[in-house]
Structure 1
């Protein structure tokens, strides 16, 4: 799948993984439409050339449909979709304050899992209408899980469940969409140096980096972005969850 001359949709694009991915895809020649919440879009710096930021809520059908309509107004066909939007709050199943709040659990699943599914299903509907290439391929959808899908830490029960759900959708989504020429691949990042890490002091950041097998550092968001571009380019990657974690296996704490 060539990136030059296609339209790409990236969620969570106002910062972190989404911003890096939107920038990198635009540098490869794609017309990128970055989705994020209205507040995040308003507070984001001016996007680079080739990136248009749109206010949208990934959990809303109407909001996502409107964003897809904007992304397909131009001459480029929508062929690349990357789901980066997500939240990562923490709470234990049972703490001094009582059992895990059910609404809190629901919110994490709604954003991370249902939001990913909502964008995937609506984007697939649009991609399926585009002309296929000589290999009957029409597009690729890249979702974002986490290594927490496989070995989450204490307090990550809601996050782990949501990201395990994203990873679990991968092979079924790839099989469902194969007849439409759409590939589905998931990336499961380890510890990435995104704005979520800004609240940690240097000692904690150094400890996190030291826990990575090799290289012993935090991942750069653009390493995620380059992996997205590689997946788009590599037509035989499908139905797979790829760990990008420096061989890190998370401990309980």
Structure 2
């Protein structure tokens, strides 16, 4: 699938993986619509070729409106990338007590339900477009994490949510195959997002040394380039791809 001349929707686009992906796709010639929370959109500066829209990925109506906006122009909506997510830390049991049930619910709602909500509503719109000569209409790229496979201490909610995203991949690909829509998930390792940038330098160095090779944090632009490669590689479907420098997370 060619990126030039299509419309793309990216969630979590005000910062981190989403911002890097939105900017990269715009440089490739896509008309990009970035979705994030209203407060994040208000504080962000959109690069050329990117339109930022305020929406909550867990809310049906605001996501439906954002998808409609991305699909209303002359360029067909072909690519949807879900980067929105949260990663609070809490153990099942700790000195602070038992894991808060509402926190667990919130993480699942944002990371898993939010991803599903965006995927289903975007797929509905993509399915209305005209297929290319190979019967293809579009691609959905979701974001899991290596925590889906080796969640660390304190990541129980995050692990559950990201395991769910990875687990949906093959079923979603099968569900949407008849409409010419591919579904692929990326499971990043340790990426130098704004959240990690706030950690002390010695902590960042320690994290980098835990990566097998290359021993550094991933750059968000590397995630963005992988998204574009997935979109352009028509035979990638139903797979979760680890982008992690061969790291295997330890317990802590």
TM-score where L is the length of structure 2: 0.99
What are the superposed Cα offsets for residues 166-186 of structure 1, whole Å, 9 maximum, x if unpaired?
Answer: 000000000000000000000
Partner in structure 2 of residue 127 of structure 1: 126
Equivalent residues of 2:68, 2:125 under 8 A apart: no
Corresponding residue for 1:58?
57
Match of 2:91 in 1: 92
Any conservation in 1 of the 2:86–2:107 contact (CA below 8 Å)?
Answer: yes
Unpaired runs of 5+ in structure 2?
A: none
Q: How far apart are the structure 2 equivalents of 1:72 and 1:251?
A: 43
* Pairing 1:109–2:108 present: yes
Deviation per CA, 1:36-90: give whole Å up to 9, x if none. 0000000112x11110000000000000011011112210110000000000100
Q: Which secondary structure state, in structure 2, belongs to the residue aligned with residue 151 of structure 1?
A: coil
Q: Distance in 2 between matches of 1:132 and 1:78?
A: 11
Question: What's the counterpart of residue 7 of structure 1?
Answer: 7
Q: CA deviation at 1:199?
A: 2.4
- Aligned counterparts, 1:1-253, within 5 A: 1-45=1-45, 47-253=46-252
Runs of 4+ deviating beyond 3 Å: none
* TM-score using structure 1 length: 0.99
**Number of residue pairs matched by the alignment:** 252
Q: Deviations over 1:226-245 (max 9, x none)?
A: 00000000000000000000
Q: Secondary structure at the match of 1:53?
A: strand
Q: Whole-Å Cα distance in 2 between the matches of residues 150 and 199 of structure 1?
A: 25
Task: Could you tell me which runs of 5 or more consecutive residues in structure 1 were left unpaired when the two chains were aligned.
Answer: none
